[in-house]
Amino acid sequence: MKPIKILTLVGWAVPAATLGYLVAKFTSSNGGQVPVTPVNLILTFVAIAVILAIFALPMLRYRRALAEQLKAPNAPRPKRLNPFYAVRLLVLAKANSISGSLFVGWHIGVIWMQISSPVTPQSTWQNVAGLLAAFAMVIIGVIVERLCRITDDDATEGASTAAPTPAAGRPAIAEKKAR
């Protein structure tokens, strides 16, 4: 799975911003109220970001232990994380950043409509808080996704281009073909 690109997140946010603006404009022009982000949704966004960060702590500890092991070659290798946990964390981080970018776009559209109207309602600040909480979801999701990246073995070993030596007692594949 490739890491998510910032342009992908922008690609999700732009249509959501357009939709947020159009829905807010349509409802206010027909006598309705502009959509306001409820406080429980703001708290939910923050809770999702915090829970994802807590789930990423074992991965962060493992990455730090690997970095320390590379500095001190005689140090024992740290205990590996469950690969399924790492994959689930990666998928959760990616979903978190995409859904957060949708909410960021929605809030940008609604705030844009509120600011461009002749009378700026008091609920604009509540929508700004929703925007900041959704942006926190995106940032935490991208950071956790980058944390789950696997480094190339060649990059950590100096990127040697020489052919690997066969293991002791086993002939190399090229030697088998020569026989």
Spatial CB neighbours of 91, under 8 Å, sequence gap ≥ 6: none
| pLDDT band at residue 174 under the 50/70/90 scheme | very low
Q: Would you say 104 and 135 are in contact if contact means Cβ atoms under 8 Å apart?
A: yes
Q: Would you say 77 and 86 are in contact if contact means Cβ atoms under 8 Å apart?
A: no
User: CA-based angle 65:63:52, to the nearest 5?
Assistant: 130
**Residues 149-157: contacts with CB within 8 Å, 24+ apart?**
149/3, 156/70
How much is the pLDDT for 171?
Answer: 46
pLDDT digits (tens, 9 = 90+) for 126-173: 999 999 999 999 999 999 999 988 765 544 444 444 444 444 444 444
User: pTM of this prediction?
Assistant: 0.78
Q: What is the mean pLDDT of residues 4-25?
A: 95
User: CA-based angle 142:97:139, to the nearest 5?
Assistant: 45
Q: Rounded to a whole number, what is the distance in angstroms from the first to the last CA of the chain? A: 41
From 108, 103, 109, 113, select the one nearest 28 (Cα to Cα).
Answer: 113
pLDDT at 177 over 60: no
Spatial CB neighbours of 45, under 8 Å, sequence gap ≥ 6: 100, 103, 130, 133, 134, 136, 137
pLDDT at 68 over 50: yes
